Amino acid sequence: MNPPKNQSTVLITGCSSGFGQATAELFLARGWNVIATMRSPQFDRFEASERLLITALDVTDAQSVSAAIAAGIARFGGIDAFVNNAGIGLFGAHEAVSDDVIRQVFETNTFGVMAANRAIIPHLRERGAGTIINVTSSAGIAPMPLVAAYTASKYAIEGFSESLAYELALFGIRVKIVEPGFSPTTRFTFNSGERCNNTLPTAYVEHAGRYMKSMQTYPTAYTTAQDVAETVFEAATDDRDQLRYPAGADSQMLAQLRRSLPEHEFIARIRAMTGSDLSVSMHANTKLVSSARWVVRFRDASRRVRVCIPRRREPATWAAKLLGLLLVQF
């Protein structure tokens, strides 16, 4: 049976799990043709459909990006929306993060996204219509501590997307930014590999502990993959001249705070929310981890983490492992 070519078509990167998978499923459910891409195709992630094409795409490989776009056009006749969702995480004190690791993060989160945008633009320009959606992070609204390089990689795409929106509007192409909040139910952190090893020196452990504690009483619900999928769909189908779309209650809260508070009040609020208050000593307290058992509960998320930290292990290493469960998706 020939696939339908008279329906809208979306290409989405990073569909193996989390936001990308949920977004692909939502677009399929709402009648779109979907090109679901991932570095290593996993065909069991979705139910078979004539409106679904699963193919390989690695945003750090220009030939891979071009091949996926060509395959989607050949299958469905054209692409109407292009969603850059693929990304990797990084947390830790900046002084402990190597240049090589920072470059790895920028290759995927920044340079890869820019290259993917460049690859799809000629097709959309020739069609005289289309939407590019770059998925960044609530870090683009409110940077958090211990994710400085990750935040920089997302901030770059915020500025890039805004500039590109003016550039491409002349050709009928809309550019949108979706800014997800923290999502503990996805596998984003676990997909971050070994980059986060040894990135939390002992001097930062006390602050990290306060940050973890503050996460237990966060003032809103956290972001779900469904929140992000719904927001991406809204951006793809919204004809308004709107650039940024916070996704999830926590991201929406941060956007509201940023808009409504003077800068000094906003900074004070973020410090209080993240255990970064200057009135609290920032010196490491190794007792925090040397005999510790931290239990972290996530509000409105079906996940609880209990981590026991052995006395003989290096405090910074074990603190970093737990911190990785918490911080990287801001």
Of the candidates 4, 149, 2, 142, the one whose C-alpha atom is nearest the C-alpha of residue 88 is: 149
State the CB neighbour count (10 A cutoff) for residue 210.
17
The domains found in the chain, sorted by start residue, are 9-200+220-248 (3.40.50.720)
Sheet holding 81-84, edge to edge: 52-56, 33-38, 9-12, 81-84, 130-135, 173-180, 244-247
Q: Output phi, psi for 43, to 5 deg.
A: -75, -15
Per-residue pLDDT of the chain (330 residues; tens, 9 = 90+): 566 666 999 999 999 999 999 999 999 999 999 999 999 998 988 999 999 999 999 999 999 999 999 999 999 999 999 999 988 888 888 999 999 999 999 999 999 999 999 999 999 999 999 999 999 999 999 998 889 999 999 999 999 999 999 999 999 999 999 999 987 766 555 555 565 666 788 888 888 888 877 777 777 778 999 999 999 999 999 999 999 999 999 999 999 999 999 999 999 999 988 888 776 544 434 344 333 344 444 444 444 433 333 333 444 444 444 444 444 343
Q: Which residues are catalytic?
A: 150
**Residue 258: predicted pLDDT:** 94
Residues facing residue 173 across a β-bridge: 130
**Residue 126: predicted pLDDT:** 98
Q: Read off the pTM.
A: 0.84
Chain centroid, CA 306 distance in Å: 25
Residue 163: helix, strand or coil by DSSP?
helix
**Residue 282: predicted pLDDT:** 42
Residues facing residue 307 across a β-bridge: 294
**Residue 185: predicted pLDDT:** 65
The Cα–Cα gap between 270 and 276 comes to 8
Residues facing residue 12 across a β-bridge: 36, 83
**Residue 213: predicted pLDDT:** 78
